[in-house]
Every structure is written in C-alpha cells, then in structure tokens.
Amino acid sequence: MKEFDLIGRYFSDGGHTRKDVVIGIGDDCAVTNVPSNQQLAVTTDTLVAGVHFLEDAPAKSVAYKTVAVNLSDLAAMGAEPAWISLSLSLPTVNDEWLSEFVDGLYELTQYYSVQLIGGDTVKGPMAMTITAQGFIPPGSELTRSNAKPGDWVYVTGTLGDAGAGLDILQNKLNVAGEARDVLINRHYYPTPRVAMGTALRRIASSCIDVSDGLISDLGHILKASGCGANVHVDKLPLSRALTSAVDNAQAIEYALSAGDDYELIFTVGEEQRGNFETSMGGSSVKATCIGQLTGQAGQLSLLKDNQPFTPTNENGYEHTF
C-alpha cells in the first residue's frame, strides 16, 4: 500500500474534531489557533516494539499506550491536551492490525477531546512517535524544580500494577482469575491523569509522572529541586489485585521500581495541604500522602515501620544505549 493511501484509509477520517484546528491532515503542515492568554506545552515520546511494548501486544493497546504516555506528560505539567501528531513506522501493512490500532488511538483521543492533526508513515521497524500539544495558563505550569523541604509527597491511584502485568505476560509471574486480568489491563491501558494535572495548578509545588518507577521519578524531583525525601513504603497505595497476586514485600518492590503506571507524583506545601485534601474529598481519583521532603539534597530515605528499608532494586528502570 502506498503512503497516502494508508493515511487516507486509516487516519484522514474519524476521531475528535476541534474548532481550533484550521488545517489538519492532508497538507504539508497542520495549522492551529492557540487561545489567547494560554501557553503551549509540547511533548514527544517514541515507543519501540520490544522495548516499550511487547511485540505481540494487541494493536489497540499499542495505540492506546502511545497516546496515553504523551497525555501523561502533559498532565504532569498541568496542561490540558489539544492536539497530537503521529509518526508511524511499520515493517508491513496489516489491515486487521491497523484497524485495531486506529480504534485504540481514536478511543483515547475522543475521550480527552484531542485531535490527530498530522504526522508521517514510513516502512521500517515497528515504532510510534507522538508529539502532543496542550494549553497552560501563564504562570500555572507544574515543574520538577519548585519543591521545598517540608513539602508533602503524594501519588495518585495505585502503584506497581503495570509492572506486575508485564511480568504476567512474560511468564515471570503466575496469577490467575480477576487479578490477572486487572494487572494485565493496567499494563496495556494506563490512565493519564489529565484532570488531576489541571487541578494541581497553583496547588502542587512540583509534579512528575511515574514512567520508570517511583524511586527513579521522585529522584528527578529531588535533583531538580535540591531536596531529599523520607518515603514510608508501608503507605504506598497498592491495589487489591496486586496484593492478592503477590505478598506485601513483592508488592512494595513493584510499586517502588517497576514503572509504567503513569500515575502522578507531586508535592504540596504545608500551607496548601488542608485545602488540597478538602478539595480531593469528592474526587474519583485517590491521592495518597507517602512522605515528606527534607533538606538533604538528593537523598531518598525509604522507611518501613519507621525503620530504614532497602529495596531489591534501588534505581528503578533506566534507559541504556
């Protein structure tokens, strides 16, 4: 199939349509309108088969995750997503696979009112690159570098599920029943915390999403902000599916270092804590306080029952070249 035939068949129609898109797919460039009094946030992520997703992963989940990880980056900055462009590399054209891929792509973009406005298709090893763009009111963007000693550390949702799901799929963990389905689903279909990200504007002092594991990603906040942290591992939010699949010690290990959960880690100053927790009372997304920042720059101290705790993996996931 020729490139423009592929684009025309699978990507030119369907999906969400936004009024701020002047020219979308079909020209050399997309043209969009940025609302007045808004800043543009831009992020790009590439997912490669065999590295970021299993080569036999369902096509729908590949598309879903490719979009979700980019929307999660926007959420971590407090941005409201608007547009994405997609560069798609495929070794061959498979009609069934592409149809399922498009279903996954449009399911998530429709839900978050995001429009696919362009991109590229090439023949090559399977990989997907998305550039996502969103809006932030000036001065309200979330960063990694504004946290202060004494700020409280929170995390959304539950941690460790996606890592356990991956181990199940790779036959490293034997789990049956409903827990198996839940954990695999969490690996295939992460939830970008977009609403939480926008709600944290002017409340959180720092924020990052959990892609490489809590130890690794919280470490980025500590480095950028010049802080340390005390984290109580017995306060980590663990799902019922994870705790029914493995013992507590292994569940904590997954939560600390497995990654791929795409929850948000954020910090809140003491002066904002009461208002934050009151406002979160009616939220459908749980946020759990797991520790507090210290003045010991770069030092992450893990505690269990208020005693020092040493995990099996002290670094989390890290890309190597």
pLDDT digits (tens, 9 = 90+) for 142-174: 999 999 999 999 999 999 999 999 999 999 999
Residue 101 has pLDDT above 60, yes or no: yes
What is the average per-residue pLDDT within 18-38?
A: 92
**Does 217 count as an annotated binding residue?**
no
Element (H, E) at 152: strand 152-156
Asked whether residue 119 is marked as a ligand-binding residue, the answer is yes
Q: Quick one: what percent of the chain has pLDDT higher than 90?
A: 83
Residue-averaged pLDDT of the chain: 93
Q: How many Cβ atoms sit within 10 Å of the Cβ of residue 286?
A: 12
Mean pLDDT of 18-26: 91
211 is in an annotated binding site: yes
155: which residues sit within 8 A by CB, 6+ positions away? 210, 214, 236, 237, 263, 264, 265, 266, 287, 288, 290
The answer, yes or no, to whether residue 8 has pLDDT greater than 90, is: no
Q: Where are the alpha helices (DSSP H) in 11-48?
A: none
pLDDT at 15: 76
The pLDDT value given to residue 283: 79
Where residue 265 falls among pLDDT bands split at 50, 70, 90?
Answer: very high
| Annotated binding residue 73 | yes
So what's the pLDDT on residue 261?
96
pLDDT grade for 275, boundaries at 50, 70 and 90:
confident
**Strand partners for 223:** none
- Per-residue pLDDT tens for 180-190? 999 999 999 99
pLDDT digits (tens, 9 = 90+) for 116-125: 999 888 999 9
Q: Are 167 and 260 in contact (CB under 8 A)?
A: no
CA 148 to mean position of chain CA atoms: 24
What structural domains does the chain harbor? Answer: 3-136 (3.30.1330.10), 152-308 (3.90.650.10)
From 316, 297, 300, 298, select the one nearest 308 (Cα to Cα). Answer: 300
- Do the beta carbons of residue 214 and residue 150 sit within 8 Å? no
Query: Rounded mean pLDDT of 192-208?
Result: 95
Distance (Å, whole) CA 195 – CA 201: 11
Predicted TM-score (pTM) of this structure = 0.93
Q: Is 56 annotated as a binding residue?
A: no
75: left (phi over 0), alpha (psi -120 to 50) or beta: alpha
Rg (the chain; Cα; Å):
20
Residue 256: pLDDT over 50: yes
Pairwise pLDDT comparison (81 vs 276), residue with the higher score? 81
317 is in an annotated binding site: yes
pLDDT grade for 27, boundaries at 50, 70 and 90 = confident
- The reply, when asked if residue 45 is annotated as ligand binding, is yes
| Under 8 Å between Cβ of 69 and 190 | yes
How large a percentage of the chain has pLDDT more than 70? 94
Q: Is 167 annotated as a binding residue?
A: no
Distance CA 294, CA 215 (A): 16
* Residue 95, pLDDT above cutoff 70: yes
First to last CA, the chain: 34
Q: Read off the pLDDT band of 26 (50, 70, 90).
A: confident
Is 95 a known ligand-binding residue?
A: no
List CB contacts of 298: < 8 A, sequence separation 6 or more: 219, 222, 223, 226, 228
Is 261 annotated to bind a ligand? Reply is no
Which pLDDT does position 321 carry in this prediction? 45
User: What is the phi/psi pair of residue 246, to 5°?
Assistant: -140, 165
Residue among 67, 234, 228 at smallest CA distance from 150: 228
User: How many degrees, rounded to 5, is the angle at CA 175 between CA 174 and CA 179?
Assistant: 160
- Mean predicted confidence (pLDDT) in 128-149: 97
What angle (nearest 5°) sits at the alpha carbon of residue 135, between those of residues 134 and 137? 160
Question: Does pLDDT of 54 surpass 70?
Answer: yes
112-141 b/e (C-beta count within 10 Å ≥ 16 → b): bebbbbbbebeeeebbbbbbbbbbbbeeee
